[in-house]
Amino acid sequence: MKRIVLALALAVATALAPLPLAAQGHSHEKGRNGGQVTDAGSYHVEAVAKGNTLTVYLNDHDTDKPIATAGFKGLAILVVGGKTQRVTLAPTGQNALTGRADAALPASIKGAVQITNARNSTVQAKF
């Protein structure tokens, strides 16, 4: 009887394991600017790293239209070469936040980007 209960519990756990990942939103292969894309709150967040510059583009999650970033701010906390790098992000262009890192960033970043909008509401994008 114990084996049946254990086998049933294992089967249920295996079946439910992917659900938390699916509930976190979806990620895309590449964004329209060639960067990594993930969801954060009501935004599609695209991170593009080139040299020491990190640019984060924001689009509406539902309509995919650009979000004006005037009054926004951000902070990226990234792992680069096994060390933590903080990049302060400020509005640039129509729907972007940009900042410069102390060292060159890899094209595929690892870490989190915290975005605070003009109403002081914060979301976090994980890459």
**Residue 21 maps to a domain:** no
More confident residue, 41 or 93: 41
**Residue 82 maps to a domain:** yes
**Residue 117 maps to a domain:** yes
Reply yes or no on whether the pLDDT at 14 is more than 90. Answer: no
Q: How far apart are the C-alpha atoms of 31 and 39, rounded to whole Å?
A: 12
| Contact between residue 112 and residue 127 where contact means Cβ atoms under 8 Å apart | yes
Q: Note down the domain range covering 121.
A: 26-126
Reply yes or no on whether the pLDDT at 1 is more than 80. Answer: no
Q: How far apart are the C-alpha atoms of 79 and 123, rounded to whole Å?
A: 19
Q: For tokens 């990226």, name the residue.
A: 76
Each residue of 36-53: pLDDT tens digit?
Answer: 999 999 999 999 999 999
**Residue 75 maps to a domain:** yes
CA 64 to chain centre: 15
**Residue 18 maps to a domain:** no
Helix or strand (DSSP H, E) at 36: strand 36-40
**Residue 3 maps to a domain:** no
How many domains, in total, are found in the chain? 1
| CB atoms inside a 10 Å sphere around CB 85 | 18
What are 74's strand-pairing partners? 89, 115
Q: What are 2's two structure tokens?
A: 């114990």
Q: Give the type of residue at 38.
A: T
| CB atoms inside a 10 Å sphere around CB 12 | 10
Give the pLDDT confidence score for residue 26 in this predicted structure: 47
Q: Give the type of residue at 82.
A: G
